[in-house]
Amino acid sequence: MLWPVIYLLALVFAYWPYWRWKNRRLLRLSASMPGPRALPIIGNGLLIVVNTGEKFLELVEQLFRTYGDYCKIWLGPELNICVKNPDDIRLLLTSNKVNQKGPAYEIMKAAIGPGILTGGPTWRNHRKIVTPSYNKRAVKLYSAVFNREAEVLANLLLKKQSGVTFNVYYDVVEITTQCVCQTLIGLSKDDSRNVDGMSDLILETQNLYELLFTKMTVWWLQIPFVYWITGRKATENAYVKKIDRLTSDFLKKRRTALKGGNVDEESMGIVDRYIASGELTEQEIKWETMTLFTTSQEASAKITSAVLLFLAHLPDWQEKVYKEIVEVIGSGRNDVTAEHLKHLHYLDMVYQEALRYLSIAALIQRTVEEEITINNGKFTLPIGTTLVIPIHDLHRDPRYWDEPLKVKPERFLPENVKKRSPNVFIPFSLGAMDCLGRVYAEPLIKTLVVWAVREVQLEAEGCVEDLKLHVAISVKFANGYNLKVKPRSTNCFCGAILCCYVRMISYMILIVIVFALMWSGWKQKNKKFMEMANQFPGPQALPFIGNALRFMCEPEELISVIKELLQVYGEASRFWLGPNLNVIINNPDDLKILLSSSKTSTKGPQYKYMAHVLGGGILSGSGVTWRKHRKIATPNYGKKVVDSYEKIFNEEVHLLLKKLRNIPSEQEFDIYNKIVQTTSYCVCQTLLNLSKEQVTEIPHLQEIIDCTPRNYDIVFDRMIKWYLQIDPVFWMTKSYQDQKHFVALITEFSKAIIENRKREINKIYLNNEESINRQLGVIDRFILSEELTQEELIKETFTIFTSSQEATAKICSFVLLMMAYHPKSQEKLYEEITKIIGDKDRCVTNEDFKQMPYLDMVFKEVLRLFPIGSMLQRTINENIRISSGTLPAGCSLVAPIYHLHRDSRFWTRPDDFDPERFNPVNTKLRQPNCYIPFSLGPMDCLGRYFGTRLVKMICVRVLREFEVTTSRTYKDLKLSIAISVSPLDGFPVKLHPRKIKEKQ
């Protein structure tokens, strides 16, 4: 019996030298990394033997205290490198070299299979399919369900006996489960309360993850025989059977609903999307459904319960949160909206502190697929290394957090957040494998907390820091979330609010007096300037605010405001926005002089509100910086370079057509939402020079696409509404919070692109230095110029992206909408397209466009009616004479492009859609300067040729394959003016397939 053991040991020790020789590079690179001494064969396995379960986290904490932010652990032949340096954590988690889950996740696959949570070859595709169900647009649709179920929770809490302690988690998890079922899973309210096996599984989800975590951290349980003989395998199998029963019922209900054809694409749940994709097997759908179901309902319940428990233990913060809720939403049972949540700053601080104190994932693990250098080049992680990121320990590191073991929401006050590195707080991980449900969970959790706090007062005994923690993948309170409640009274608070209002009115009166005195002094100082201003007619201006009240309107009303000024005061008129003089010029010849003059080569003062987001560069800047940046970027917008983008344009439009084919012909939808995806991918692969795979890995891409229109609305609001131009006032608005969040998104978005391009530029230099100039994107040129700071690079990266993708998508959508409104024009254009392209689905070239004069006429007519820049503003740097007077230095020129393009002096039936205006005969008869869709002079539109090609490409191929209709008429079209012109009701169209031969 002894000889087989001796033989086996001899074999193992004989293999050891061979293994060391085979992995000599791994051993050499790891040698410089500090860590405990490893034994042959077993490495540091004995440390794990005596530190199982939760003690494993204590072991990791001890290792960091001993060895610093970087240490290695050998588990047999497996090298684990633990990293706690925040900057390197960001580098690693956002790198495409570390894009697979670690080996510990293999243990979870027996229960929930390979996919989004556990990794493997399918996770990226599976995640991409369901991502639309987690974006902001989709989550807004879920608000009604969140509020309905939150009211149920509030009623449950009101029924609790006052002063009696209970575990709130059990009530909360029932509610979060219902929310997930009625949103992500897509069930009706009745169906969600009648799912086979769900009640059994809700409370056992924690037990399942605890079982898996124990197996991860207790090495001998990873031996199949030991796992089986201890009875744990039988327990796991029982869970798997319950999971299968639950997910089977989900699939059955959703397949029945999908067959009925009553499911709107925007509101499709995860199960619907997996079924509709046709890319997953039945078992894969079950696995992913269970993964996303349990991670959503269980994690949301834990965090909600933690927030409620923290408020119970922190009465001062509970009072702050409650007062804030009443101020923003009211004390009644009003629904909570996304806009409300943006103003609940105290609640957000408690929410973030809960995420810090109780990490959703205590540790995360990744596999290194390519060598990557960290710690300023000191260490290189070899291929095959297992990377361990200790989130729980990072969130409690005293170097970054004052008294980290205490619950202190004030850590997340803006002034405290600025003092910390943003990388020390990563509750949802980072990079391509970050938490998919973060956008979904936050409004759900906060809505539940608002309803609870609004209805009951929370109380708890003892000190929250004394509560014992328990780790099972995530961190939770070991003995539950125990608190007491009692119904709330609001009378006292109403009196306090009244006092606040009285004080506020007193302060406002004092402020008005001070500003009136300042205004009087300003008038005396600028007497000459005001005399020159009075040579132009305009409405009577009020002290201090000028004509600002006239512009306190919605974007759709601004069209009428400008039109009235032009009709009453003529082609040169003035208005005041506070102390800023604006002169509207609607004379084409004067506009050409002004826009082409060096005396007007500075953007107007209102552009500074755009610069807050985009910086002072190509789109919103002026002067030396603008000129330098534009010169660097210009080569990528030339005709030859844009011609080289033709293949990418065709490939992306082909994918767009595939998506459009799946939309039922009777379904009316907003086509902009489809097209903007295509234009975004085109811009990323051309101007930004990313590969298709790299585009899919850009952080926050979809959220940025969704948020961009809202951000431009915020910028335009500040441009025209005087009170929003006062920073302290703007800081108190929801728009400021939106913009702040947007800037954070685009910063991370741009940094990822910049880092990617820096790596790729080095590869290009190494492989083919002679042809580098032809391979450069705009960002590449900025980087190589070495003339931009990091901040300028970040701003210009996003400027290039948004100014191209959003404008082209909007113009393209307008073209298709006009074709839907005007079937005769559509038929004429379709005949021209088929004449040139034929009856085969093929790529479209620039030579094709040259033979399509009617397409060009349609395109120009759309730009006439819906210009990219509805109004332009320039600062007059020196006095300049025009036909109607002299514009004084320091005033602002306003060019009303939208109204010039619809001026009846130059256009017959100016509001009608008539492409024939741009036939050669009519064009020659018309004043040439009354049509300036891309502006004029040195500050004209840099991307006009790029945009024209992309718009025509999309429109030709869509109209070649589909007849476009709409249930509405052109007379129904209502527009608003913001940065560009937009329809109030979107771009609603229906697509009817035409007969077309496949590409041969």
pLDDT above 60 for 493: no
Our measurement of the distance from residue 440's CA atom to the centroid of its chain's CA atoms, rounded to an integer in Å, reads 12
pLDDT value of residue 352: 94
- Strands 78-83 vs 386-389: parallel, antiparallel or unpaired: parallel
Res. 946 pLDDT band, cuts 50 70 90: very high
Higher pLDDT, 77 or 351: 351
Residue 941 known to bind ligand: yes
Res. 989 pLDDT band, cuts 50 70 90: very high
- Residue 372 token pair: 């990557």
pLDDT above 70 for 997: no
- Separation CA 898–CA 933 (nearest Å): 9
State pLDDT tens for residues 9-21: 566 566 667 777 8
Residue 367 contacts residue 387 (beta carbons within 8 Å) = yes
Nearest residue to 146 (alpha-carbon basis) of 443, 369, 568, 367: 443
- Gyration radius of the chain over CA positions: 32
pLDDT above 90 for 907: yes
pLDDT above 70 for 211: yes
- Separation CA 185–CA 273 (nearest Å): 10
- Separation CA 240–CA 660 (nearest Å): 38
pLDDT value of residue 492: 43
Residues with Cβ < 8 Å from 471, sequence gap 6 or more? 53, 54, 57, 213, 362, 392
Res. 559 pLDDT band, cuts 50 70 90: confident
- DSSP states along 76-126: TTEEEEEE--HHHHHHHHT-TTS-EE-GGGGGGHHHH-SBTTTBSTTHHHH
Higher pLDDT, 38 or 205: 38
Res. 491 pLDDT band, cuts 50 70 90: very low
Q: Any idea how long the chain is?
A: 1000
Res. 515 pLDDT band, cuts 50 70 90: confident
- Strands 580-585 vs 892-895: parallel, antiparallel or unpaired: parallel
pLDDT above 80 for 719: yes
Res. 217 pLDDT band, cuts 50 70 90: low
pLDDT value of residue 167: 93
Nearest residue to 98 (alpha-carbon basis) of 387, 362, 380: 387
In whole numbers, what is the pLDDT of the chain averaged over residues?
85
How many C-beta atoms lie closer than 10 Å to residue 898's C-beta? 22
pLDDT above 60 for 652: yes
User: Where do we find the tokens 């939402």?
Assistant: 673
442-461 mean pLDDT: 94
State pLDDT tens for residues 93-145: 988 898 888 887 777 777 777 777 777 777 788 888 888 888 888 888 889 99
Give the residue ranges of DSSP H helices in 94-231.
109-112, 123-130, 136-141, 143-158, 169-182, 189-192, 198-217, 224-229
SS3 state of residue 184: coil
Our measurement of the distance from residue 810's CA atom to the centroid of its chain's CA atoms, rounded to an integer in Å, reads 19
Higher pLDDT, 722 or 740: 740
Residue 289 contacts residue 247 (beta carbons within 8 Å) = yes
- Separation CA 636–CA 630 (nearest Å): 11
Res. 269 pLDDT band, cuts 50 70 90: confident
pLDDT value of residue 381: 92
Residue 26 contacts residue 81 (beta carbons within 8 Å) = no
pLDDT above 90 for 47: no
State pLDDT tens for residues 860-894: 999 999 998 888 888 898 999 998 889 999 899 99
